[in-house]
Amino acid sequence: MDKILVRGGRPLTGTIPISGAKNATLPALAASLLTDQPLRLSNIPHLRDVTTMLELLGQHGAAITIDEKLGVEIDCSRIHNTKAPYDLVRTMRASILVMGPLLARHGRAEISLPGGCAIGTRPVNLHLRGLEAMGAEITLEQGYIKGQAKRLRGARLVFDLVTVTGTENLMMAACLADGRTVLENAACEPEVLDLANCLNKMGARIKGAGTGTITIDGVEELRGAEHAILPDRIETGTFMIAAALTGGDVTLTHTDPSILKAPIAKLRQAGVVVEEKKGTIRVRKNGPLRAVDLQTAPYPGFPTDLQAQMLVLVSQSEGTGTITETIFENRFMHVSELQRLGADITLQGNVAVVKGGGELRGAPVMATDLRASASLVLAGLAARGETLISRVYHIDRGYERIEEKLMALGADIHRLSN
Ligand code: EPU
């Protein structure tokens, strides 16, 4: 298994391009199941989760062509299998995103029930409740969710809590349903809006995406389309924090500051200089960092996917900050690894109290989930000495060539393959 070796202490400087968003690519790929015409997606990040979703679509019967610029064309005219097997779903929970499209266009789906994972129990009850309200018959057999429906029908659905993939799954299902669906308390994440834009290009009739109320008027069929995936705001945020943490000066291109308002505001509050231009963000440190308090929240709040990285920044700031995780009940697995590097963090339920100012010292650490691994890389960049991170397959799920991009900014970082 690959490891990443980081020798800390070098300020990051230079310019790097941001990749397309993982969490917009996965639902857009699933959307290809809604039509028998080819869907062409560009600005696709080269990631393990994307490969897993392509593998899943392939075993459903999709024909996939990848061009030299990593654009992907998916042709779902010959779907012969509506089962998403355990072996794929257990490596990527977002596989559940094929459920809505398969039910809507093929009338059946059999998806391995995603289990818990390193960040919490993560049930899919709200996805299933919504599909049932649209007329699907859902049963659970031998660890598989089995769904059947002749034609889904429009419904008014109110989510108990904000769910990103739940909103996406039901929005896709509703595109081919009979009549109007209204999703209330829907997720407002930019990735939901990006999916709606893609679906509307395919002939869907979706209004209100990006707000808490989404209205979808079902159509008989969708057609092929071309769509460029929006920039990855979590990759952007991770590199912004890395720049601040190492006292560097980094410009991120091919991104969109308008979808990063909460992280940009927090970094400014921490004393970081952030300059926004269209498609570009420059981040540099100018004076000492100040500890901040923050609470994760659904968009437009501070994203849970940047919580671990921000925790490292606070540990290197003056003063004490509290970081409250409100989305996932167990998303603090990185804390014990960061403590091994010398970070002064105390956990009190879903609140991490971070005492800043202490020096981080390199040590061997283990990645537990995607964003946790990113926080360990960041901590390694700020630490004195060598940090050896194992189980880096987690990071390959969601960051495109992270060590190459950091190396290009001057980091002393290497992948050790064995
Ligand atoms: N929840 C339920 N029932 C459901 C669905 C969700 O109780 O049916 C709960 C979850 O357990 C959680 C909360 O609702 O406590 C929010 O979960 P959500 O459904 O929004 O998460 P998700 O859709 O599974 C997506 C991203 C995550 C990101 C979260 C929150 C994708 C593929 N994944 O997950 O991304 O953390 O939204 O923003 O879009 C990552 O990229 O590292 C990652 C984990």
Residue 227 pLDDT grade (very low, low, confident, very high; cuts 50, 70, 90): very high
What is the distance in A from the centroid of ligand 1 to the CA of 27? 13
Atom 25 in ligand 1: residue holding the nearest Cα? 164
pLDDT greater than 70 at residue 20? yes
Q: From the CA of 407, how far away is ligand 1's center (Å)? A: 31
Q: What is the number of the ligand 1 atom nearest to the C-alpha of 303?
A: 38
Distance 13 CA to ligand 1 centre (A): 33
Confidence of residue 150 (pLDDT cuts 50, 70, 90): very high
Spot the catalytic one: 117, 175, 188, 198.
117
pTM, two decimal places: 0.97
pLDDT above 70 for 74 = yes
Mean of the per-residue pLDDT values of the chain: 96
Q: How confident is the model at residue 68 (pLDDT cuts 50, 70, 90)?
A: confident
Q: Is the pLDDT of residue 345 over 80?
A: yes
**CA angle centred on 35, ends 168 and 147, rounded to 5°:** 55
120 CA: nearest ligand 1 atom: 11
pLDDT digit string, tens, across residues 274-308: 999 999 999 999 899 999 999 999 999 999 999 99
Q: Among 383, 387, 380, which Cα is nearest to 406's?
A: 380
pLDDT digit string (tens) for 179-207?
A: 999 999 999 999 999 999 999 999 999 99
Dist CA 115 CA 124 (whole Å): 10
| pLDDT band at residue 116 under the 50/70/90 scheme | low
Q: Is 220 exposed, middle or buried (0-12, 13-18, 19+ CB in 10 A)?
A: exposed
Tokens of 43: 């600005």
310: nearest Cα among 297, 328, 323: 323
pLDDT at 323 > cutoff 90: yes
Q: Is 117 part of the annotated catalytic residue set?
A: yes
Q: For residue 224, give every residue at least 6 positions away whose Cβ sits within 8 Å of its Cβ, in sequence order, or none.
A: 35, 37, 38, 39, 40, 202
| Residue 254: Cβ-neighbour burial (10 angstroms; 0-12, 13-18, 19+) | middle
CA 208 to ligand 1 centroid distance, Å: 21
Give me ligand 1 centre to Cα 8, in Å.
32
**Per-residue pLDDT tens digits for 88-103:** 999 999 999 999 999 9
The two tokens of residue 121 are: 């129990």
> Which residue, judged by its Cα, is nearest atom 31 of ligand 1?
23
Report which protein residue has its CA nearest ligand 1's atom 35.
305
Q: What pLDDT is stored for residue 329 in this prediction?
A: 84
Please report the pLDDT score of residue 1 as a whole number. Answer: 84
Pocket (CB within 6 angstroms of ligand 1): 23, 26, 94, 120, 122-127, 161, 163-166, 304-305, 327-328, 370-371, 398
Q: Which atom of ligand 1 is nearest to the CA of 27?
A: 32
Evaluate if residue 117 carries a pLDDT over 80.
Answer: no
Over range 30-38, report the average pLDDT: 98
